[in-house]
Structure 1
């Protein structure tokens, strides 16, 4: 699996021997869990790819040296919530939760921990469970439980639990399972510590244009106001494989919690829900709408978020 990080997304491009569990992906979407990064399954260059939205979040890799006590606590609370949520669903495995520092995030607004969850079809199910437990052990030891945590009784007890496990390959699997159970029970339903510098939440929206048709599957994540779509390299949303798309075909705007689209004089026109749009016509687009660019129909997906 190849991983690509950008300022707004993290992408997991699967190798030829890996595949996504479509059922698992659907279950994760239905959960709408606050601790899971917004996730989409797309096809890029013929390869299955999972894309997670990270815009506005802080990567643990970039801030782990200055994590506050409250933030360390939030990282364990978020993981506990996920483990317990997955335990209630026999179709989801905790092994789907990625525990690498550069793939775990904190929201600076509310302090929630956000994890990438990859519902892959496992080819090595016999050993995968222990491998994940070993990553859990290292995640706690190397990221969460460093520095002075004595002021937090729960983290202090967790650290003692981790330190009681031998730091080599001889530690027993049941000790690791016991560590996982400790997290899921001790930190279950705890309240997050809100960041001291958290700004007041305001209503915001996240917009995605999803395509699934003759050209494959992909999604455009609208990450800025004035998001230009076309087949020119200067566009924010590039559609380079379809000659019917104009160099600068259309533009998406996000204003006061609402989303709008404007055709920029495209040769093959734009449409909304079957109605052809005039060049320069700015129309509101809503969740569930179908936006047509030349011969491509893109489904509009809009969700409210805190921003």
Structure 2
């Protein structure tokens, strides 16, 4: 339970898929932290607004396009679970490295960690108040570690050799959050470096999309195993801002080894490969020289 709720500093109010915290008194509100959150609304946080509720300050969180991590767990496979964990750790590091915010004010209960079910990007719930949920950084990190370890051991659909290794690493107190993030975010690079040290060579094909008729040069390099494209910054990995007909979350490119596929994510104006419109949510293999059309913008695929 959120200790601020337990101590009655704040009261939680659920509003459909959104929710809010009502502050017991105005002096609890941190105006500086709230301004920082507003300036980073499209980043790693669930967007929030300051409002009034029966004369008290209300922090209202807009989570209607996201799902609580707890609700998403039954539908996740080990690979997607790992992607969520990596994004969670990355966002925590962003907060830790921000000079104005404190990780101890992030609610890391699985009911209040929010996930975009398409991109698997994570939104954190930050309370801009003058009290902390966790007494120190160590308690905060321990809450995350123990929660994830219990999930992996207790939910069968999340279990795989990779997640069991993650559980062991989470239990290893010598590995910091940053160590864990680097190990799993850079897993492929780590394996390639290991192969080099062992005298092995491994060629990995990288894929790039180049806009063919854009007003300026646009080149998008696919840098993740699941890479989402669209025009909404903060919701996708590759932002395409020059064409309003492209959907906010338009399509996704998946990488498995040296094989790439593209999937239309129910875009309004469609995704095409070499003139053929793709059926939504159905992957289609792509390779060097293919022409991908998003709405009415063409991109040429090149591999290196």
- TM-score (structure 2 length as normaliser): 0.52
In 1, distance between residues paired with 2:102 and 2:224?
24
Deviations 1:219-277 (A, max 9, x none): xxxxxxxxxxxxxxxxxxxxxxxxxxxxxxxxxxxxxxxxxxxxxxxxxxxxxxxxxxx
Structure 1 spans left out of the alignment, 5+ residues: 165-174, 204-307
Q: Structure with the greater relative contact order (CA < 8 A, sep ≥ 6): 1 or 2? A: 1
Say which of 98, 101, 111 aligns to 2:107.
Answer: 98
The 8 Å contact of residues 106 and 124 in structure 2, kept in 1 or not, is answered as yes
Work out whether 1:63 is the aligned partner of 2:60.
no
Q: Work out whether residues 95 and 129 of structure 1, in 8 Å CA contact, stay in contact via their aligned partners in 2.
A: yes
User: What is the CA–CA distance in structure 2 between the aligned matches of 1:101 and 1:108, rounded to whole Å?
Assistant: 14
Tell me the matched-pair count: 190
Structure 1 residue 150 displacement after superposition? 6.0
Shift of 1:185: 2.7
**Aligned counterparts, 1:166-245, within 5 A:** 175=173, 178-188=175-185, 191=224, 193=226, 199-201=265-267
- TM-score, structure 1 normalization: 0.52
1:55 counterpart SS class: coil
Q: CA deviation at 1:37?
A: 0.9
User: RMSD in angstroms over aligned alpha carbons?
Assistant: 3.3
The correspondence of residues 1-307 of structure 1 with structure 2, limited to 5 A, is 1-16=10-25, 19-122=28-131, 127-143=135-151, 146-147=155-156, 151=160, 153=162, 155-164=163-172, 175=173, 178-188=175-185, 191=224, 193=226, 199-201=265-267
Contact preservation (8 Å) 2:26, 2:56:
no
Counterpart of 1:13 in 2: which secondary structure? Answer: strand
Instruction: Verify the 8 A CA contact 2:45 2:124 in the aligned structure 1.
Output: yes
Runs of 4+ off more than 6 Å: 194-198
Structure 2, unpaired ranges of 5+ = 1-9, 187-222, 229-251, 255-262, 270-304
* Deviation of the 1:91 alpha carbon: 1.3
Partners of 2:170 and 2:105 in 1: how far apart?
22
**Closer/same/farther in 2, CA of residues 115 and 124 from structure 1, 3 Å limit:** closer
